[in-house]
Amino acid sequence: MKYLVVSDIHGNDKMITKLYKIVSFHQPTKIILLGDLGGFFHPNDRILDFIEEYKDKIILIKGNCDDREKYKMDMLDYYKETINGVSFVFTHGHLMLPISTSDYDVFVQGHTHIGEIREYDDKIIFNPGSLSQPRGESVNSYGLITDNDIELYDINDSVIKKLSYRK
């Protein structure tokens, strides 16, 4: 099991090309796109092609710069899944969600463009950063969730940080 987690591409054509390479390199079983995929409210045709090509693997989360009507799949505000007995919530990060901290062990969000994996109290907070527009001291990045770990990668496919989520 390997989940690719990507956020905030913002229609960057070069990074959409890189996204295809990341998928080829890691061969994920699921791809979770955390929103802000196209330009501001206008999806890039190549991201639409990517979504169509991998539609059987993709969970599509709506970002604050996405327009639901322009995508060829339903866009969720958030997505919950239990992975190896651990509860995950995935969202873009710009909305107040109808959940409480007791609803998850790992909270995954994009929106800030800052990649990080950290423990907070008894929870894990994971942000894959932005594939195309990192902010602060962050670098272009994406994430993987494997059978045991959450991994943050730079665009050269090198691990920046890794943390076990298994209890």
Which CATH number characterizes residue 114's domain?
A: 3.60.21.10
d(CA 149, CA 80): 18
Whether 47 has a pLDDT exceeding 80, the answer reads yes
Return mean pLDDT, the chain.
90
Whether 119 has a pLDDT exceeding 90, the answer reads yes
Q: What is the pLDDT of residue 83?
A: 96
pLDDT-derived band of residue 42, with 50, 70 and 90 as boundaries?
Answer: low
Whether 130 has a pLDDT exceeding 60, the answer reads yes
Q: What is the pLDDT of residue 17?
A: 93
Whether 157 has a pLDDT exceeding 60, the answer reads yes
The boundaries of the domain holding residue 96 are: 3-164
Rounded to 5 degrees, φ, ψ at 95 are: -115, 150
User: What's the average model confidence in pLDDT over 93-97?
Assistant: 78
CA distances from 120 to 54, 82, 107, 108 (A): 33, 19, 10, 13
Closest CA to 23 of 161, 147, 149, 144: 144
Number of domain units in the chain = 1
User: What's the average model confidence in pLDDT over 37-53?
Assistant: 77
> Which pTM does this prediction carry?
0.92
Q: What is the pLDDT of residue 40?
A: 60
User: What's the average model confidence in pLDDT over 36-49?
Assistant: 73
Q: What is the pLDDT of residue 64?
A: 85
| C-beta separation of 16 from 37 below 8 A | no
Percent of the chain with pLDDT over 70: 93
